[in-house]
Amino acid sequence: MQKLSVALIGYGYWGKRLFKTLQKIHSVRTVAVCDKNQQTINELQSLDSEIQLTKRYQDIVSNKNIDAVVIATPAGTHYRIAMDSLKSGKHVLLEKPMALKKAHARFLDKFADKKKLILMVDHTYLYAPEIRVAKQTIDSGIMGNIRLIEATRVGPGQYKYDCDVIWDFAPHDISILYYLLGIPRELSAMNSCHLDQHRIDVSNLYFKFTNGREAFVYLSWLSPIKIRKILIVGTEKTLLIEQDGRESKIYLYPSSCYFRNSGQADNDFQSVKNLRVLSGLPYYEPLSNVCHEFVQCIINHTQPLSSGHLGYEVVNIIEMIHQLKTQSGKVIIP
């Protein structure tokens, strides 16, 4: 079978991880890399002399021998590069968020559909085994009716100057909430700027869904330690997800634990094991699952879970959150 010719645009922190992942896929041939940094170009040239290297993404867009493009550039450039790539007939895997304006996100989604091209957004955690198993557990009904989700995503990370903590962290949790519960009907937010008065670095988000279900999401760039936790509370059982790289864990508690003291609750949980097997995903590392699904969707002409439509919904919600900086109260989502 002929290999898929793929180009990477952006060889920064995430781009390097994408490059290594693509290199491991047997059905893919990475034929070109674009980056504005000349030192990066020199580094890549020493690694693989057969790969086309350029500082202009237009060189990749105009190359008719390239089937698909993976874009890992700053968020403000996503719309322009993705649109030019789609116009040239290339499938696109786009780093989150897919755009910084909902109008741009919607146009990308609609245009890809019109051209019958795959547009996929790298909402990586949707391809993590623990999130897939959580979805299966909710859908099985053993948790009863879902009442509440609490998510915490904090850590020092990389302080970004082209976005705030909401654009940086919230796409992960909003995409997970969308996957687990659907589109929220109402939201509110409390945001703070500590390191820069013009950039939000701490955010408390509230979402209300159908049937009275609620979600609270806490985001912060200010924590000295990395914490990734999701608590899903049902009428029968409560599920706790601890995301820590390859060591992610799920614990299932009976909801009666809320009426006991903490010592008893500690002895009354069930650890969900074999997440990789239960999830049904072929690979363990979420980014590998993302890249493999992108390739399979191109080959089989199917839509990915993390589609352009989902990407649009995430951008739409984040844009509404930012509207709250100039509004009081809450926003009703149409």
220 lies in the same domain as 138: yes
204 lies in the same domain as 237: yes
For residue range 99-133, list pLDDT tens digits in order: 999 999 999 999 999 999 999 999 999 999 999 99
Give the predicted TM-score (pTM) of the model. 0.91
36 lies in the same domain as 114: yes
3-class secondary-structure state, position 231: strand
Check residue 64 and give its pLDDT.
Answer: 94
Check residue 22 and give its pLDDT.
Answer: 94
Contact between 76 and 160 under an 8 Å Cβ cutoff? The reply is no
CATH of the domain at 108: 3.40.50.720
CATH of the domain at 134: 3.30.360.10
242 lies in the same domain as 159: yes
Residue 235 counted as domain residue: yes
Per-residue pLDDT of the chain (334 residues; tens, 9 = 90+): 688 999 999 998 899 999 999 999 999 999 999 999 888 888 888 776 688 999 999 999 999 999 999 999 999 999 999 999 999 999 999 999 999 999 999 999 999 999 999 999 999 999 999 999 999 999 999 999 999 999 999 998 666 777 899 999 999 999 999 999 999 999 999 988 888 888 899 999 999 998 899 999 999 999 999 999 999 999 999 999 998 766 789 999 887 766 555 555 556 678 888 888 888 888 888 999 999 999 999 999 999 999 999 999 999 999 999 887 655 456 566 6
142 lies in the same domain as 229: yes
How far is Cα 245 from Cα 243, in angstroms, rounded to an integer?
A: 6
Residue 79 counted as domain residue: yes
How many folded domains does the chain comprise? Answer: 2
Sign of CA dihedral 103, 106, 112, 118: positive
142 lies in the same domain as 85: no
Residue 334 counted as domain residue: no
278 lies in the same domain as 171: yes
Residue 328 counted as domain residue: no
108 lies in the same domain as 138: no
Residue 332 counted as domain residue: no
- DSSP letter at 307 equals B
Give the closest residue to 22 by CA, choosing from 57, 68, 58, 55.
Answer: 68
151 lies in the same domain as 100: no
Residue 153 structural domain: 126-284+317-323
Residue 330 counted as domain residue: no
